[in-house]
Amino acid sequence: MAVELRPELFEPEALDASAMEAIERPPVTFWSDVWRRFRKNRLAMFGLVLLALMLLMAAVGPLLTPYDASANNWAIGNKGPSHEHWFGTDQLGRDIFTRAWIGTRISLFIGITAALLDVTIGTLYGVISGFSGGVVDDVMMRFIDIMYGVPYLLLVILLLVVVGAGLWTIILAMGISGWIGAARLIRGQVLQLKEQEFVLAARTLGANSWRIMLRHLVPNVLGFLLVNMTLTIPGAIFGEAFLSFIGLGIQPPLASLGTMISEGYQVYRLYPYQWFIPGMILAIILFAFNVVGDGLRDALDPKLRQ
C-alpha cells in the first residue's frame, strides 16, 4: 500500500532549547565510578565477601561458644572436631574454634594498625619530601636509602628481643621500617602532581605549603593510598604470623593465628587439624586482601576508564 507524501510530513519538529541542555541521568562521582568498575571484577567482589565474613566471625565468633579461650582442660585435650567442639581442641584442651577467631581478631588488629601506621608516616614523609624538593628532598631520600640497607626482619627481631615481645611492640616494630616503601611511592606521585595547574592556582590564591600539601596533594593520592594499604595489610599479618611462629610474636595466654599454627605444627602428624584450621583462615585472609587490593588498583587506574 502506497503512502501519500504530504508536505506537512517533512516539517521540522519544534525543539525546546532548555530541554536540549537538560541532564538525562544523574552525574556520576569519582568514587561511584570506582565502585561501579570494582563490582564488575568478580574475583575482587568474592574477596570482599570473604573479607567481610572473616571480620564478622572475628567479631562474633568467640561469642558463639561457651568456652574460655585461655582455660586449660587436660581431660579433653587433642579431641577432634565434634558437635561440642566444632574445630576440636588443642593439647591443653582449649577450644580451637574460640581461639581461632580470637586469634583472627588479634592478627587483623595488628595488620590493620601496622598498615595504618605505615601509610600515615609514609604519606607525610613522601609528601613533604616530594613537595619540598631540592636539598630537603635529597637529605630525606638519602635517609630512606640508609634505612633500605637495614634488613626489615632483622630490625624487627632486634627490637622485639631488646624491648620484649608483645602486641604493641610488634606494631611498633613493623611501623619503624614498614613506611619506607609507601614514602617512596607517595613521593613519586607528588613529584608529578605538584607541577599541575591546581597547585599553581592554590599558590596564586595565597595558600601556604602546608595547606597545599594537606588540602590538595593528599586527597589526590587518596586512591593510591587505599590500594597501598590493602596490599600492606596482608604483609603485616603474615609478618606477625611469622614472628609468632618463631616465638617472638604474641605470647600466651593471648593467641594469634601464628601462635596457633606454631602450636599445631608440633603435633601436625598426629593432629593435623590443629595447624590446618588456623593456617586455612590465615590463607583466606591473605587471599581476600590481595584480590581486593588488585581490584581497587584496577578500578582506580585511569587508563582503564572508558
CATH number of domain containing 189: 1.10.3720.10
Q: What is the pLDDT of residues 183-224, one digit of tens each?
A: 888 888 888 888 888 888 888 888 888 888 888 888 888 777
Contact 90, 70 (CB under 8 A): no
Q: What's the grid cell of residue 22? A: 537538560
Lookup result for grid cell 614472628: 243
Residue 137 lies in a domain: yes
Residue 131 lies in a domain: yes
Residue 121 lies in a domain: yes
Q: What is the pLDDT of residues 217-247, one digit of tens each?
A: 888 887 778 888 888 888 888 888 888 888 7
CA distance 75 to 91: 10
Residue 16 lies in a domain: no
Q: What is the pLDDT of residues 26-60, one digit of tens each?
A: 666 767 877 888 888 899 999 999 999 999 999 99
Residue 129 lies in a domain: yes
Residue 226 lies in a domain: yes
| 154 confidence band (pLDDT: 50, 70, 90) | confident
Residue 76 lies in a domain: no
Residue 304 DSSP one-character state: G
- Total of domains in the chain: 1
- Between the alpha carbon of residue 189 and those of residues 19, 54, 126, 127, 218, the distances in Å are 42, 33, 9, 9, 10
- State the Cα angle at 44 between 41 and 46, rounded to 5°: 110
Containing domain of residue 229, as a range?
43-59+92-301
Lookup result for grid cell 584496577: 298
Residue 86 lies in a domain: no
Cβ-proximal residues to 57 (8 Å cutoff; 6+ apart), any chain: 101, 104
Instruction: For the chain, give percent helix, strand, coil, nearest 5.
Output: 70, 0, 30
pLDDT at 17 (0 to 100): 62
